């Protein structure tokens, strides 16, 4: 009987020690997990295998590139933290699934294979064409390679069916082409890369755009054959061109121009007596 009590006491002590050790281990691991969460940062990671020369945009569309959390200790100094900083860059070499993306793994197309022709989207009919505008008409020269711009044209229009030509001529202004991809600015074919912000909180990696110098207004854009003819005709007729800069992620398919083309009759967003009198006069003159 005494031996049984002793054995029971020993077993109780063993279980007590095991329980204490288990609690200590669990609490210690919980502290480690909490510490790891505090050390997590969001970085761009290859979610699948990325082939050489694949654009970052294409990789994102195929869900091969995305932002995931990693412990700070595992993140290299040159890691990329935002997908937007990659823009139209292409993979230098094959990137395996799970790799943290660094600045050296994506470069401009021109750096990879050379030549502007290699930057044109491989789609039937697309080609490169240059336009020249001054700072006022070219968004103050702040357009960079990879940006999307839209083109507005202001030109005189004549109603050929109207016998009184002087009364049928009016300057009109309207969007000619929305969403042209800029391939080059002056002779530069790659956008300035984002740099780390030295003044940012070290626990929150961020990037900032570098200071940008105004370009001289010579932009090379990607156009199809119809757009190339429209632009050539605009310059041949000496009509005025205005450019607008579209936001990142702009899709020309989503662009909807105004229903009315701007001309003298609807230039003002209010009724003007002189215009109503002028419009009333036109049919009287034509009837003579």
The DSSP bridge partners found for residue 196 are 207
Q: What is the distance between the alpha carbons of residues 13 and 20, in angstroms, rounded to a whole number? A: 11
Q: What is the distance between the alpha carbons of residues 277 and 288, in angstroms, rounded to a whole number? A: 17
Domains of the chain: 40-107 (3.90.1210.10), 117-287 (no CATH)
Which H or E run contains 220?
strand 218-223
Q: What is the distance between the alpha carbons of residues 254 and 4, in angstroms, rounded to a whole number? A: 84
Tokens 């600045």 appear where? 103
The pTM (predicted TM-score) of the whole model is: 0.53
Determine the 3-state secondary structure of 113 from DSSP: helix
Q: What is the distance between the alpha carbons of residues 33 and 39, in angstroms, rounded to a whole number? A: 10
Report CA-CA distances (Å) from 104 to 7, 54, 66, 100: 67, 14, 17, 11
pLDDT tens, N- to C-terminus, the chain (288 residues): 555 554 555 455 454 545 555 555 555 554 555 445 558 888 999 999 998 878 888 889 889 999 998 888 888 888 888 888 887 788 888 898 999 998 888 887 766 655 777 778 877 789 999 999 998 899 988 898 889 999 999 998 776 666 555 555 678 899 999 999 999 898 777 665 544 444 455 454 444 444 445 556 899 999 999 999 999 999 999 999 999 999 988 888 888 888 888 887 778 777 767 667 766 766 555 555
């Amino acid at each position: 009987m005494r031996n049984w009590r002793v054995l029971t006491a020993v077993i109780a002590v063993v279980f007590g020690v095991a329980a204490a050790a288990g609690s200590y281990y669990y609490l210690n691991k919980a502290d480690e997990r909490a510490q790891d969460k505090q050390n997590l940062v969001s970085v761009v990671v290859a979610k699948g295998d990325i082939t050489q020369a694949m654009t970052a945009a294409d990789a994102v569309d195929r869900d091969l590139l995305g932002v995931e959390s990693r412990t700070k200790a595992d993140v290299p100094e040159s890691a990329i933290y935002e997908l937007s900083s990659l823009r139209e860059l292409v993979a230098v070499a094959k990137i395996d699934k799970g790799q943290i993306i660094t600045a050296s793994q994506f470069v401009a197309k021109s750096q990879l294979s050379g030549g502007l022709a290699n930057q044109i989207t491989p789609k039937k009919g697309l080609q490169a064409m240059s336009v020249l505008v001054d700072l006022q008409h070219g968004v103050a020269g702040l357009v960079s390679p990879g940006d999307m711009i839209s083109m507005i044209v202001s030109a005189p229009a004549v109603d050929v069916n109207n016998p009184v030509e002087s009364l049928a001529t009016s300057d009109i202004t309207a969007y000619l082409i929305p969403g042209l991809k800029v391939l080059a600015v002056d002779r530069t074919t790659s956008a300035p890369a984002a740099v780390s912000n030295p003044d940012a909180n070290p626990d929150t990696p961020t990037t900032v755009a570098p200071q940008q110098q105004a370009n001289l207004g010579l932009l090379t854009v990607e156009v199809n054959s119809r757009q190339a003819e429209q632009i050539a005709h605009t310059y041949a007729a000496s009509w005025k061109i205005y450019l607008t800069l579209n936001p990142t992620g702009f899709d020309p398919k989503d662009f909807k121009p105004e229903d009315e083309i701007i001309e003298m009759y609807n230039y003002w967003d209010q009724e003007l007596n002189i215009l109503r009198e002028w419009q009333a006069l036109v049919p009287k003159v034509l009837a003579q």
